[in-house]
Structure 1
Protein backbone atom coordinates (compact mmCIF):
# COMPACT_ATOMS: atom_id res chain seq x y z
CA UNK A 1 0.00 0.00 0.00
CA UNK A 2 1.51 3.28 -1.11
CA UNK A 3 1.03 6.13 1.32
CA UNK A 4 1.24 9.49 -0.34
CA UNK A 5 2.59 12.39 1.62
CA UNK A 6 0.93 15.72 1.35
CA UNK A 7 2.92 18.37 -0.40
CA UNK A 8 4.52 20.76 1.98
CA UNK A 9 3.23 24.29 2.18
CA UNK A 10 5.63 26.88 0.78
CA UNK A 11 5.12 30.47 1.89
CA UNK A 12 5.29 33.01 -0.93
CA UNK A 13 4.50 36.62 -1.60
CA UNK A 14 2.60 37.53 -4.72
CA UNK A 15 4.31 40.46 -6.39
CA UNK A 16 2.22 40.86 -9.54
CA UNK A 17 0.20 43.74 -8.09
CA UNK A 18 3.40 45.46 -6.90
CA UNK A 19 4.40 46.27 -10.48
CA UNK A 20 1.01 47.91 -11.06
CA UNK A 21 1.42 50.05 -7.96
CA UNK A 22 4.94 51.08 -8.97
CA UNK A 23 3.71 52.01 -12.46
CA UNK A 24 0.98 54.25 -11.03
CA UNK A 25 3.42 55.90 -8.61
CA UNK A 26 5.83 56.57 -11.46
CA UNK A 27 3.07 58.16 -13.52
CA UNK A 28 1.94 60.25 -10.56
CA UNK A 29 5.42 61.64 -9.89
CA UNK A 30 6.06 62.34 -13.57
CA UNK A 31 2.85 64.32 -13.86
CA UNK A 32 3.44 66.23 -10.62
CA UNK A 33 7.04 67.07 -11.56
CA UNK A 34 5.92 68.68 -14.82
CA UNK A 35 3.45 70.87 -12.93
CA UNK A 36 5.98 72.01 -10.34
CA UNK A 37 7.14 75.60 -10.69
CA UNK A 38 10.88 76.09 -10.14
CA UNK A 39 10.39 79.58 -8.71
CA UNK A 40 9.82 79.56 -4.99
CA UNK A 41 9.47 83.32 -4.56
CA UNK A 42 5.77 84.06 -4.56
CA UNK A 43 4.98 87.32 -6.32
CA UNK A 44 1.49 88.40 -7.36
CA UNK A 45 1.91 88.78 -11.13
CA UNK A 46 0.00 91.21 -13.36
CA UNK A 47 -3.04 89.84 -15.17
CA UNK A 48 -3.14 89.05 -18.88
CA UNK A 49 -5.72 87.52 -21.21
CA UNK A 50 -3.33 84.85 -22.49
CA UNK A 51 -0.04 83.51 -21.15
CA UNK A 52 2.65 81.14 -22.36
CA UNK A 53 3.56 78.75 -19.54
CA UNK A 54 6.80 77.45 -21.10
CA UNK A 55 9.66 79.03 -19.14
CA UNK A 56 12.28 76.39 -19.94
CA UNK A 57 15.84 77.02 -18.83
CA UNK A 58 15.74 80.79 -19.22
CA UNK A 59 17.07 82.99 -16.45
CA UNK A 60 14.30 84.31 -14.21
CA UNK A 61 14.51 87.78 -12.67
CA UNK A 62 11.93 88.28 -9.93
CA UNK A 63 11.21 91.70 -8.43
CA UNK A 64 9.04 91.85 -5.30
CA UNK A 65 6.89 94.72 -4.10
CA UNK A 66 9.64 95.66 -1.65
CA UNK A 67 12.06 96.00 -4.62
CA UNK A 68 14.07 92.91 -3.74
CA UNK A 69 15.72 91.25 -6.73
CA UNK A 70 16.11 87.51 -7.25
CA UNK A 71 17.97 85.78 -10.07
CA UNK A 72 16.23 82.42 -10.18
CA UNK A 73 16.07 81.70 -6.41
CA UNK A 74 19.08 83.73 -5.24
CA UNK A 75 18.66 87.24 -3.88
CA UNK A 76 20.86 89.88 -5.52
CA UNK A 77 21.53 93.43 -4.36
CA UNK A 78 20.45 96.23 -6.74
CA UNK A 79 24.09 97.31 -7.12
CA UNK A 80 25.19 93.83 -8.27
CA UNK A 81 22.16 93.14 -10.44
CA UNK A 82 23.66 94.25 -13.76
CA UNK A 83 26.91 92.33 -13.30
CA UNK A 84 25.19 89.16 -12.08
CA UNK A 85 22.62 89.34 -14.88
CA UNK A 86 25.37 89.46 -17.49
CA UNK A 87 27.32 86.67 -15.80
CA UNK A 88 24.33 84.35 -15.66
CA UNK A 89 23.25 84.97 -19.26
CA UNK A 90 26.79 84.32 -20.52
CA UNK A 91 27.07 81.22 -18.37
CA UNK A 92 23.79 79.81 -19.75
CA UNK A 93 24.51 81.04 -23.29
CA UNK A 94 20.93 82.29 -23.39
CA UNK A 95 20.04 85.97 -23.81
CA UNK A 96 16.40 85.51 -22.78
CA UNK A 97 15.43 86.69 -19.29
CA UNK A 98 11.96 86.06 -17.87
CA UNK A 99 11.03 89.14 -15.83
CA UNK A 100 8.56 88.45 -13.02
CA UNK A 101 7.61 91.85 -11.55
CA UNK A 102 5.09 92.19 -8.75
CA UNK A 103 1.78 93.57 -10.01
CA UNK A 104 2.11 96.72 -7.88
CA UNK A 105 5.68 97.53 -8.92
CA UNK A 106 6.29 101.09 -10.15
CA UNK A 107 6.32 101.53 -13.91
CA UNK A 108 9.61 103.41 -13.68
CA UNK A 109 11.23 100.41 -11.98
CA UNK A 110 10.02 98.18 -14.80
CA UNK A 111 11.31 100.61 -17.44
CA UNK A 112 14.71 100.76 -15.73
CA UNK A 113 14.98 96.97 -15.88
CA UNK A 114 13.93 96.87 -19.53
CA UNK A 115 16.51 99.56 -20.39
CA UNK A 116 19.13 97.44 -18.65
CA UNK A 117 18.21 94.63 -21.04
CA UNK A 118 18.34 96.94 -24.07
CA UNK A 119 21.75 98.23 -23.02
CA UNK A 120 23.20 94.71 -23.05
CA UNK A 121 21.04 93.37 -25.91
CA UNK A 122 19.14 90.92 -23.74
CA UNK A 123 15.66 89.65 -24.55
CA UNK A 124 13.23 90.34 -21.72
CA UNK A 125 9.91 88.52 -21.45
CA UNK A 126 7.44 89.72 -18.82
CA UNK A 127 5.65 86.94 -16.94
CA UNK A 128 1.96 87.35 -16.20
CA UNK A 129 -0.81 85.18 -14.84
CA UNK A 130 -3.92 84.33 -16.81
CA UNK A 131 -6.74 86.44 -15.51
Structure 2
Protein backbone atom coordinates (compact mmCIF):
# COMPACT_ATOMS: atom_id res chain seq x y z
CA UNK A 1 0.00 0.00 0.00
CA UNK A 2 1.55 3.08 -1.18
CA UNK A 3 0.46 6.35 0.35
CA UNK A 4 -0.44 8.78 -2.33
CA UNK A 5 0.26 12.32 -1.73
CA UNK A 6 -1.74 14.88 -3.61
CA UNK A 7 -0.14 18.16 -4.50
CA UNK A 8 -3.38 19.79 -5.41
CA UNK A 9 -3.44 23.49 -4.50
CA UNK A 10 -6.67 24.92 -3.14
CA UNK A 11 -7.68 27.52 -5.70
CA UNK A 12 -10.64 28.79 -3.68
CA UNK A 13 -10.66 32.35 -2.34
CA UNK A 14 -11.78 32.95 1.20
CA UNK A 15 -13.99 36.02 1.41
CA UNK A 16 -14.03 36.03 5.19
CA UNK A 17 -10.82 38.07 5.49
CA UNK A 18 -12.08 40.56 2.90
CA UNK A 19 -15.39 41.02 4.71
CA UNK A 20 -13.51 41.53 7.98
CA UNK A 21 -11.50 44.36 6.42
CA UNK A 22 -14.60 45.98 4.93
CA UNK A 23 -16.39 45.70 8.27
CA UNK A 24 -13.46 47.31 10.13
CA UNK A 25 -13.33 50.15 7.59
CA UNK A 26 -17.06 50.69 8.00
CA UNK A 27 -16.70 50.94 11.78
CA UNK A 28 -13.73 53.29 11.39
CA UNK A 29 -15.62 55.70 9.13
CA UNK A 30 -18.71 55.61 11.34
CA UNK A 31 -16.66 56.50 14.40
CA UNK A 32 -14.70 59.27 12.68
CA UNK A 33 -17.81 60.78 11.12
CA UNK A 34 -19.35 61.26 14.57
CA UNK A 35 -16.28 63.22 15.64
CA UNK A 36 -16.98 65.88 13.03
CA UNK A 37 -19.12 68.57 14.60
CA UNK A 38 -22.12 69.16 12.33
CA UNK A 39 -23.11 72.27 14.31
CA UNK A 40 -19.88 74.11 13.65
CA UNK A 41 -20.13 77.57 12.18
CA UNK A 42 -18.51 78.00 8.81
CA UNK A 43 -16.15 80.94 8.73
CA UNK A 44 -14.58 82.50 5.68
CA UNK A 45 -11.26 83.58 7.10
CA UNK A 46 -9.37 86.23 5.14
CA UNK A 47 -6.07 85.26 3.57
CA UNK A 48 -3.03 87.29 4.45
CA UNK A 49 -0.81 86.22 1.53
CA UNK A 50 -2.55 88.22 -1.16
CA UNK A 51 -5.30 90.69 -1.75
CA UNK A 52 -8.55 89.47 -3.22
CA UNK A 53 -11.27 91.78 -4.45
CA UNK A 54 -14.34 90.85 -2.46
CA UNK A 55 -17.89 91.95 -2.93
CA UNK A 56 -19.23 94.59 -0.59
CA UNK A 57 -20.69 92.97 2.49
CA UNK A 58 -22.68 94.10 5.45
CA UNK A 59 -20.55 94.61 8.54
CA UNK A 60 -21.22 94.16 12.23
CA UNK A 61 -18.81 95.88 14.59
CA UNK A 62 -18.57 94.96 18.26
CA UNK A 63 -16.98 97.71 20.33
CA UNK A 64 -15.60 97.40 23.84
CA UNK A 65 -16.26 100.50 25.97
CA UNK A 66 -14.64 99.34 29.22
CA UNK A 67 -11.71 101.74 28.89
CA UNK A 68 -14.08 104.69 28.62
CA UNK A 69 -15.82 103.68 31.85
CA UNK A 70 -19.33 104.05 30.47
CA UNK A 71 -21.82 101.43 29.46
CA UNK A 72 -24.46 101.76 26.79
CA UNK A 73 -28.05 101.68 28.05
CA UNK A 74 -29.13 100.03 24.79
CA UNK A 75 -27.06 96.91 25.28
CA UNK A 76 -26.86 97.06 29.07
CA UNK A 77 -23.17 96.23 29.21
CA UNK A 78 -19.84 97.57 28.02
CA UNK A 79 -20.21 96.20 24.48
CA UNK A 80 -22.08 97.82 21.62
CA UNK A 81 -23.11 96.48 18.22
CA UNK A 82 -22.91 98.70 15.14
CA UNK A 83 -24.26 97.78 11.69
CA UNK A 84 -22.34 99.04 8.62
CA UNK A 85 -20.18 101.39 10.67
CA UNK A 86 -23.16 103.32 12.02
CA UNK A 87 -22.22 105.25 15.15
CA UNK A 88 -25.60 104.54 16.75
CA UNK A 89 -25.26 101.36 18.87
CA UNK A 90 -28.02 98.75 18.76
CA UNK A 91 -28.89 95.76 20.89
CA UNK A 92 -28.24 92.23 19.69
CA UNK A 93 -31.93 91.66 18.86
CA UNK A 94 -32.09 94.92 16.93
CA UNK A 95 -28.87 93.98 15.15
CA UNK A 96 -30.50 90.77 13.96
CA UNK A 97 -33.52 92.69 12.65
CA UNK A 98 -31.28 95.16 10.82
CA UNK A 99 -29.23 92.33 9.32
CA UNK A 100 -32.40 90.62 8.08
CA UNK A 101 -33.41 93.88 6.38
CA UNK A 102 -29.95 94.41 4.88
CA UNK A 103 -29.43 90.85 3.64
CA UNK A 104 -32.94 90.03 2.42
CA UNK A 105 -33.06 89.43 -1.30
CA UNK A 106 -29.35 88.65 -1.68
CA UNK A 107 -28.49 85.40 -3.42
CA UNK A 108 -25.42 84.78 -1.25
CA UNK A 109 -25.96 86.67 2.03
CA UNK A 110 -22.66 87.35 3.77
CA UNK A 111 -21.60 89.73 6.51
CA UNK A 112 -18.34 90.58 8.22
CA UNK A 113 -17.68 90.76 11.93
CA UNK A 114 -15.26 93.39 13.17
CA UNK A 115 -14.59 92.91 16.87
CA UNK A 116 -12.22 94.71 19.20
CA UNK A 117 -9.39 92.56 20.44
CA UNK A 118 -10.69 92.77 24.01
CA UNK A 119 -14.26 91.66 23.16
CA UNK A 120 -15.01 88.26 24.73
CA UNK A 121 -15.49 85.34 22.38
CA UNK A 122 -19.06 84.78 23.58
CA UNK A 123 -20.09 88.18 22.19
CA UNK A 124 -18.68 87.24 18.78
CA UNK A 125 -20.35 83.82 18.94
CA UNK A 126 -23.70 85.48 19.68
CA UNK A 127 -23.39 87.37 16.38
CA UNK A 128 -22.29 84.17 14.63
CA UNK A 129 -25.39 82.43 15.96
CA UNK A 130 -27.50 85.05 14.17
CA UNK A 131 -25.81 83.98 10.93
CA UNK A 132 -26.35 80.32 11.72
CA UNK A 133 -30.07 80.79 12.43
CA UNK A 134 -30.56 82.62 9.14
CA UNK A 135 -28.20 80.42 7.05
CA UNK A 136 -25.81 83.25 6.20
CA UNK A 137 -22.06 83.17 5.68
CA UNK A 138 -19.76 84.94 8.10
CA UNK A 139 -16.39 86.56 7.49
CA UNK A 140 -14.31 87.21 10.59
CA UNK A 141 -12.30 90.33 9.80
CA UNK A 142 -8.77 90.58 11.11
CA UNK A 143 -6.00 93.10 10.79
CA UNK A 144 -2.66 92.10 9.25
CA UNK A 145 0.20 91.52 11.64
Q: Deviations over 1:43-90 (max 9, x none)?
A: xxxxx9827564531111111113211111223411311111110111
TM-score scaled to structure 1, two decimals? 0.55
Distance 2:47 2:118 in 1: 18
In structure 2, the partner of 1:105 is 119
TM-score scaled to structure 2, two decimals? 0.50
Gaps of 5+ in 2: 1-45, 66-78
Distance 1:80 1:49 in 2: 31
Give the CA RMSD over aligned residues.
Answer: 2.4
Distance 2:60 2:137 in 1: 12
Distance 2:54 2:62 in 1: 17
Q: Deviations over 1:12-43 (max 9, x none)?
A: xxxxxxxxxxxxxxxxxxxxxxxxxxxxxxxx
Relative to 1, partners in 2 of residues 1:72 and 1:91: Cα closer, same or farther, differing over 3 Å? farther
By relative contact order (CA 8 Å, sep 6+), the higher-ranking structure is 1
In structure 1, the partner of 2:84 is 72
How many residue pairs align between the two structures?
A: 84
Distance 2:100 2:47 in 1: 31
**Larger gyration radius, structure 1 or structure 2:** 2
Gaps of 5+ in 1: 1-47
Distance 2:131 2:61 in 1: 14
